């Protein structure tokens, strides 16, 4: 809805479209929430978390500014390899959600903390099959778990937040097993950092990073951990 591959063709009209179609900035508002009462057990070695919460540009951008994250890649989860491309996923009929694969060091950040950031500043988990101006099941709120422990932590945290009524409506985030993750096209990677003045990014996603810095100062890093930089050092 908001960005074909030739994003520069829409740059001049995006701001006006958003102003007319999105009267509030609710998708960018952060909510102060408690930490999860149940977290994953301490572990060694790099761990993986996969989450979906609307446009992957902003989700990736937030976690690239999160300490302990060694790589955050935009991509697709929930569908098949054959349909894991942007144009097809944008149809909303593939089962895929725009997702981000987060590789993290559990000695520096826990799975529970990642979920706290995800629910607090990354997106609004009460919006069903949409986030802000983006509408469709490909923009749904979802957690793709890589283990039974992750599933237990995620489900317990959703129950905890619903019981505490920290949001005005029930959380609609779906928790399901991760079958596969498919990285998105190269032009989607590091998009927030590469295009900070693009109207969609400036309006919807930069505030998410600012909220991370404000609410999770101990977990915020100024210099983002970029996909391209990671590839260059491997």
DSSP 35: P
Q: List active site positions.
A: 55
Could you tell me the sign of the dihedral formed by the alpha carbons of 113, 116, 120, 123, in that order?
Answer: positive
Largest CA distance in the chain: 49
Instruction: Give the contacts of 224 (CB within 8 A, at least 6 positions apart).
Output: 61, 64, 65, 190, 192, 193
C-alpha to C-alpha distance for 198 and 203, rounded to whole angstroms: 9
C-alpha to C-alpha distance for 112 and 38, rounded to whole angstroms: 8
C-alpha to C-alpha distance for 229 and 218, rounded to whole angstroms: 23
Number of helices (H), then strands (E), in the chain: 9, 8
């Amino acid at each position: 809805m908001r960005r074909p591959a030739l994003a520069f063709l829409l740059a001049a009209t995006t701001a006006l479209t958003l102003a007319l179609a999105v009267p509030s900035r609710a998708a960018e508002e952060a909510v102060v929430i408690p930490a999860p009462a149940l977290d994953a057990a301490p572990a060694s070695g790099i761990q993986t978390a996969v989450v979906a919460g609307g446009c992957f540009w902003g989700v990736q951008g937030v976690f690239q500014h999160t300490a302990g994250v060694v790589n955050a890649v935009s991509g697709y989860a929930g569908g098949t390899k054959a349909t894991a491309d942007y144009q097809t996923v944008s149809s909303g009929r593939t089962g895929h959600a725009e997702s981000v694969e987060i590789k993290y060091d559990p000695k520096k950040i826990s799975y529970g903390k990642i979920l706290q950031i995800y629910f607090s500043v990354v997106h609004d988990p009460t919006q069903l099959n949409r986030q802000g101006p983006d509408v469709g099941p490909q923009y749904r709120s979802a957690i793709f778990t890589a283990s039974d422990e992750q599933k237990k932590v995620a489900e317990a945290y959703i129950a905890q937040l619903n019981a505490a009524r920290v949001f005005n409506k029930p959380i609609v985030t779906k928790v399901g097993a991760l079958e596969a993750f498919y990285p998105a096209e190269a032009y989607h990677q590091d998009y927030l950092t590469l295009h900070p003045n693009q109207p969609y990014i400036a309006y919807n996603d930069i505030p998410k990073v600012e909220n991370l810095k404000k609410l999770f100062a101990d977990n915020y890093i100024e210099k983002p951990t970029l996909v391209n930089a990671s590839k260059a050092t491997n």
